[in-house]
């Protein structure tokens, strides 16, 4: 048999010996669901047998790989434990006996969830890109979110990165409908008083909330009103003291 005949015969045997269908998404993302190369190869060998032998033995799998039967058994056990692979029992009514088969439903479910997350991210990126293209501010500097601005302002003032708990406090204040402006004003007042802890700032915000103050202008107006009342009280107190002293000396000269 000449070389051309050998090549032709081999090509025909190669393509008609059967093809194992391995989803491309599985091959490109198996690492993201916690599988290693050995795990993947065992799954490919199981897929290779699926059509004629739905439950290939450990010996059969090991015979096609360089790993030992104990290694293959460990891989299969791990896949079953993670519920990526399952062993199912079926009743064969013709042969009147039970038989086992491997199920990849768990693996498919996990891949589907990963695909859904990837798809959601892709759609969000496409939506953001479209918005930036059609937005009149697309050529200007991106506007940071209130949370990002607050974190930056607080870290600059405190001279250190915020802790996770402190960031949660900021998020809670924003969720409670305290504006970015109000939170920064509370920080300014805390710094002026020499107190930078979040509990003190929270007490300031809650006091404003009780009074129904929602903007810096309203707070400044309340401050001015409070200052005016204090000055009136002080003025009245001074007048009272002055009258008392005056009456005292009038009685003395009488």
What pLDDT digit, counting tens, does each position of 158-191 carry? Answer: 888 988 888 999 999 998 888 888 999 999 998 8
- pLDDT for 248: 54
**pLDDT tier at 228 (50, 70, 90 boundaries)?**
confident
Q: pLDDT digit string (tens) for 16-61?
A: 667 778 889 999 999 988 999 999 999 999 988 888 888 999 999 9
**pLDDT tier at 196 (50, 70, 90 boundaries)?**
confident
Domains identified in the chain and CATH numbers: 16-109 (1.10.10.10), 146-236 (1.10.10.630)
Average pLDDT, the chain: 83
- pLDDT for 139: 47
Q: Which two tokens stand for residue 183?
A: 């939170």
Dihedral of CA atoms 49, 53, 57, 62 in degrees, nearest 10, equals -20
b/e for 86-107, b at 16 or more Cβ within 10 A?
eeeeeeeeeeeeeeeebebeeb
Higher pLDDT, 249 or 65: 65
Counting DSSP H helices and E strands in the chain, the numbers are 11, 2
**pLDDT tier at 13 (50, 70, 90 boundaries)?**
confident
Say if CB 114 and CB 29 are below 8 A apart: yes
- pLDDT for 221: 85
Say if CB 42 and CB 22 are below 8 A apart: no
How is 150-198 classified by DSSP, letter by letter? HHHHHHHHHTSPPPHHHHHHHHHHHHTT--HHHHHHHHHHHHHTT---H
Q: Which of 79, 61, 83 is nearest to 70 (CA)?
A: 61
Q: Which of 234, 231, 235, 168 is nearest to 202 (CA)?
A: 168
- pLDDT for 246: 56
Phi then psi dihedrals of residue 98, to 5 deg: -85, 150
Higher pLDDT, 92 or 71: 71
Residue 68 confidence (pLDDT) above 90: yes
Q: Which of 191, 171, 189 is nearest to 180 (CA)?
A: 171
Q: Which of 151, 60, 159 is nearest to 102 (CA)?
A: 60
- pLDDT for 250: 55
In percent, how much of the chain has pLDDT > 70?
A: 83
- Which residues is 97 bridged to in the sheet? 92
Give the residue carrying structure tokens 């993947």. 40
Q: pLDDT digit string (tens) for 83-114?
A: 999 999 988 888 888 989 999 999 999 898 88
Residue 192 confidence (pLDDT) above 50: yes
- Highest mean pLDDT: which of 14-28, 61-75, 132-146? 61-75
b/e for 138-167, b at 16 or more Cβ within 10 A?
eeeeeeeebeeebbebbeeeeeeebeeebe
**pLDDT tier at 219 (50, 70, 90 boundaries)?**
confident
- pLDDT for 234: 80
Please state the rounded mean pLDDT for residues 217-236.
81
Please state the rounded mean pLDDT for residues 223-250.
70
Say if CB 146 and CB 180 are below 8 A apart: yes
- pLDDT for 252: 47
How far is residue 165 from each of residues 6, 151, 198, measured CA to CA in Å?
A: 72, 12, 10
């Amino acid at each position: 048999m000449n070389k051309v005949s050998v090549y032709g015969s081999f090509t025909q045997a190669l393509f008609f010996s059967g093809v194992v269908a391995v989803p491309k998404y599985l091959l490109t993302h198996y690492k993201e669901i916690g599988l290693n190369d050995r795990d993947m190869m065992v799954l490919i060998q199981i897929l290779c047998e699926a059509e004629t032998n739905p439950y290939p033995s450990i010996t059969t799998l090991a015979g096609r790989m360089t790993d030992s039967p104990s290694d293959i058994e460990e891989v299969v056990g791990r896949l079953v434990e993670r519920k990526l692979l399952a062993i199912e029992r079926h009743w064969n009514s013709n042969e009147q006996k039970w038989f086992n088969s491997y199920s990849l439903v768990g693996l498919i479910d996990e891949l589907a969830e990963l695909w859904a997350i990837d798809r959601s991210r892709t759609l969000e990126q496409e939506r953001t890109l479209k918005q930036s293209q059609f937005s009149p501010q697309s050529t200007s500097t991106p506007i940071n979110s209130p949370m990002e601005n607050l974190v930056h302002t607080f870290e600059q003032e405190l001279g250190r990165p915020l802790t996770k708990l402190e960031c949660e406090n900021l998020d809670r204040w924003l969720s409670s409908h305290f504006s970015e402006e109000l939170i920064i004003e509370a920080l300014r007042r805390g710094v002026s008083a020499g107190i930078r802890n979040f509990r003190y700032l929270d007490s300031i915000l809650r006091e404003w909330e009780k009074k129904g103050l929602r903007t810096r202008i309203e707070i400044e107006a309340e401050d001015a009103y409070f200052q005016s009342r204090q000055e009136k009280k002080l003025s009245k107190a001074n007048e009272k003291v002055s009258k008392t002293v005056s009456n005292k000396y009038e009685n003395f000269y009488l």
